[in-house]
Amino acid sequence: MTKFTQFIAILFVATLAFQTQAQNIAKVAEQEEVIFVNEDKSLVSTKLTTDKKPKFKKWQKEYSLDKIEYHEDATIIHFRFDSDYYTHVSLYSASGHYPWTLKAKSGETFELKGVYNIKHNGTLVAKEIEGAQVDIPSNRKHTVITCEVHFDRLPMNLREVDMIEGLGTEQRSNHFHVLDIKLKTPKIIEEVEVEEVEVEEITSEAVSNESNENTLLITTREEFNWTVYPNPTSDLIQVERQTASDATIEVMNLSGQSIYSMTTQDRISTIDMSEYAAGAYIISLTTSDKTTAQKVIVK
């Protein structure tokens, strides 16, 4: 048995010990966004998610939301104006007369970062509002205008907001308000305790004696200078390194078979795991001086 095969077998045993905890976490994470924190409350990871059926109250029947994207540093609201007849539409940047603002029920407000990908009947009008506003003239026909409204990532405990086009205009019917927008609120899971399993350390000297082309240099966790999150996952994972440099990232199953590979120079790389069956996978990172590997669970 090669050293690499020994590592896979030992890792499989460790995976079984981890599986119960991972399944419990997955049950919590299945319907909601989950954020993992250490004992010192520092962020470990966050699941990138999209609410494709957001709940809200229409201010006017023509104003609605298509979806809401939740990112680590941004909340993106996809607005839609759908009308059989209109005279003129203006959309405003943060420096314009009537920028969108998110308003919590407590009265706290969150300022607009920008408006992007403005489309008129499916045709891109502007990638972003660079000045004070973008004007879309009337064609007096059925029209659909969509855009992405960007805000900073909202507080985790915020549950509901109104999106107001111009504070102080809340009672104006021709302003693009959307009310009572229900936000996805992440559950917080404290540091996950995982039963320790003894795993033989495979050193570079041991691996160098192997002829198997799939051999890996496995290092201890203390030597890792990169992280994988969220873990467990059902869709995207982020591979984040301390510094940017040339690297190869590979996804392998527990048989050691490579199922995905990418080269990158970025400090943070994204991999879509949604097409893979539930179970454990190995993420390996190869740089100029070594290769290290970590396990990730797909739920």
Q: What domains are defined for the chain?
A: 3-46+191-298 (2.60.40.3080), 49-185 (2.60.40)
264-294: per-residue pLDDT in tens? 999 999 999 988 898 899 998 888 878 888 8
Q: Which range has the worst mean pLDDT, 123-132, 160-169, 216-225?
A: 216-225
Q: How confident is the model at residue 99 (pLDDT cuts 50, 70, 90)?
A: very high
Percent of the chain beyond pLDDT 70? 69
190-199: per-residue pLDDT in tens? 444 444 444 4
Is pLDDT of 2 > 60? no
The DSSP element (H or E) to which 145 belongs, if any, is strand 143-152
Is pLDDT of 186 > 60? no
Grouping H, G, I as helix, E, B as strand and the rest as coil, residue 204 is helix
Q: What is the pLDDT of residue 6?
A: 54
pLDDT, averaged across the chain: 77
Overall pTM surpassing 0.85 (yes/no): no
Q: How confident is the model at residue 126 (pLDDT cuts 50, 70, 90)?
A: very high
30-80: per-residue pLDDT in tens? 444 444 444 443 343 344 678 889 999 999 999 999 999 988 788 999 999
Long-range contacts of 241-245 (CB under 8 A, 24+ apart): 241/267, 241/268, 241/285, 242/267, 243/267, 245/287, 245/288
